Structure 1
Amino acid sequence: MTRTKAMAWAGGVSYLLLAGLLVGAAPRASGTVHGVGALMAASLLAGVARRRPLPALAMALFGSTAVVAGTPSSLHESPAVSYQGEFLSYVAVDLILGFIVATCVRRAALAAVAVSFAVQLVVVGAFAQGDNLAVSGVIALLAMSASCIAGLLIRERREHAVALRSQEVAEAVTAERLRIARELHDMVAHSIGIIAIQAGVGSRVIETRPAEAREALRAIETTSRETLSGLRRTLVSLRRAERGVSASEKSSRLAPAPGLADLGRLAAATADAGVRVDVCRTGDERPLPADIDLSAYRIVQEALTNVVRHAGTGHCRVTIDYGNEDLSVEVVDDGRGSTGSGSGHGFGIIGMRERVGLLGGRLSAGRRPEGGFRVAARLPLPARAGVPVETR
């Protein structure tokens, strides 16, 4: 970094030396030659302009003014042609000015514009002759205005890009927070519901039927351990930026995320809470993408939680249909139904709708005409590899 900085400042000093050399070594050359030479030498200011644009502007103003002041105005050319050639040296000033407007704070940019305009105005007034004064002033003003407008456009485009990136980051953070909230709700709500029911059963029969109380305590212990394992998996996934530990190493330490293959264990835990679950699978059962598999499992889990808490029944049915294009999940009970759309009982159905919506599927949840409650989700599946495509 220090070496690059030194090279940048060496380029700035070299520019000033070349500007002086142009005036001293070629005093009889035309203004056009001096202007083009000074413009080409200004490329040495690129390094300084990137790091310190205001000192770079000062160097460019000094060098360009020296070139204009040291050039004979009527040696070989008319005043108009002579000044137009000399004016090329100020193009570098205008380029640096545009860069300042695009990158520096507004106060510094305004000061740079004011100083540059004042210097060029004084130089035009001092070295333009006769009728050429107005033309030269207009040319200088137009060139400087064009550079400032270009800098403003670049500045606005960059600020707009920064705003879009900030918005994308905020939306990503919100989406991740919602995902974590759904995971914690679906995981904890079902387990806590079962624990509460088992604790109630145990407290009622602890004196009269100690064997049943022991079974209830075992169910509470098993459910608590599974819930703690799920919470640990979620919390560790939030700490994937931990130094020195890769995501693959973390995932290898954790149990895999639940899926439809774990419905048997979920049904058994629900049965311990007093609700018998009949699981029916139809279609061509096969491995599913991880996000679909997890979402389907969470939908069934939340639906069973609502059955345990609100249905007032001892039986429900879960149907999983593996279709060619989508996966259908249905949970039906014959209880007393629900008192509302789900918002009255928390965020269960809201979370299910969010899961299904993220996967581009459809969800319906409501009372059945014949009694009870029905939750049905349809999740689109990706095209199956190896399935022949009909052609004509």
Structure 2
Amino acid sequence: MSATPSAPFLRRVTPGGWAALAWLAGMLFTALQRTRLPGQESAEVFPGVVFLRWDGIVMLVVATGLALRGSALLTRRPTAALVYLLAAAIVACTPLGVMAIPFAQYLSVDVALYVIAATGPPREANRALRRSLGVLAGYLAVRLLAGWNISTAVELAVALTAVVAWLLGRSERQTKAHAEQTRVRVAEQAVTTERLRIAREMHDTVAHSIGIVALQAGAARRVIATQPEAARQALAEIETASRETLAGLRRMVGALRTADPEAEAEEPPEEAPTTTGRTTADIGRTAAATGRTETSAEVRGLPEMPGLAALDRLAELTGNAGVRVAVRRVGAPCPLPPDIDLSAFRIVQESVTNVVRHSGADSCTVTVDHRDPEVLAVAVEDRGPVPGHARVSPGPGSGYGLTGMRERVAVLHGEFTAGPRPGGGFRVSARLPLPTGATTR
């Protein structure tokens, strides 16, 4: 439950910025080659007649303007940007007196090829490579037709660098595509895993309810003749338990059916706020607030089927792990169906676990709001890292727990939000609708 750190400086440079830097670096390299530096008897490359004249300088300025324009368009209009960069390379070669387009003037084109291959459609990337190689071949063909000398070796080397830049971009695109496919598959497995966990908990709740029904039915059968009032009370308990169990099963089955594409096609799912949408992040087994590994979705020291009544015990266990938990209850507690009571506790438990493992905070606040008779609201917030307080898992949160919490809220058709607090720290909140006349046993 910590904010993602700012990206390093190099990652904040845009692709167009890299292309502009490549062009300017190439121009600087070209000038240094044609300048006698200390320790040299002469410049490594003869500057040529036009290079030092006013018209040569004007052409270099024009080429630089074309290159900067292409760099500015690289993100929004990559095809047009490549045209500008190729034109800049050709114009810059005119005052240099070279027999082939040098690598220094083609460096920004290589950057553009990498960006287009990495981010653009494959067809567009293929056209960009053919256009770039075609300009190199066309430059040599024009010189041959004019009867001028050419340097085939230099042009082949420049073409090779262009192909390598294009291949690196394609490799980057394929890597991202594979990572996205893997992420989607893991996300689908994550939702399935969380639903299985919720289904197991519902099985335990139903088994508990059926046990109560069996006990009450047996008691009613024994006293129905001698104590009709006690039998009537037992039958009322049976009716209440049966209705609650049936309502919970309906909520569960309705949510689990959304995993079936055919069911979704036959019956559109009920619209819910966007904050209940299932994420495509990963999910994993998280440790309990005490730092122990969960076994059968339970935590040592807590009841087998915990509810909001066990928050004080959870706060005590979390305090032993080094994080103080303040539990605030707003409004008069109202009876809750077992599945909602358990889900609310699991959301708080997962949030507190994230505080212990990822936030670096030394305290957090759990708020349970019962003021609205139709909605149960729970929230967990911390104030961010505290100097000297080490995290159990250093670094930013993995996002595993948030997926499970969203899935639980989605099952109950509630609203879920999670994000950094304006004053620092992190906040998780959930609003769970309560069925009319909900009661607990």
Higher share of residues assigned helix: 1
TM-score under structure 1 normalisation? 0.45
TM-score under structure 2 normalisation? 0.41
Instruction: Name which structure has the greater RCO, CA cutoff 8 Å, separation 6+.
Output: 2
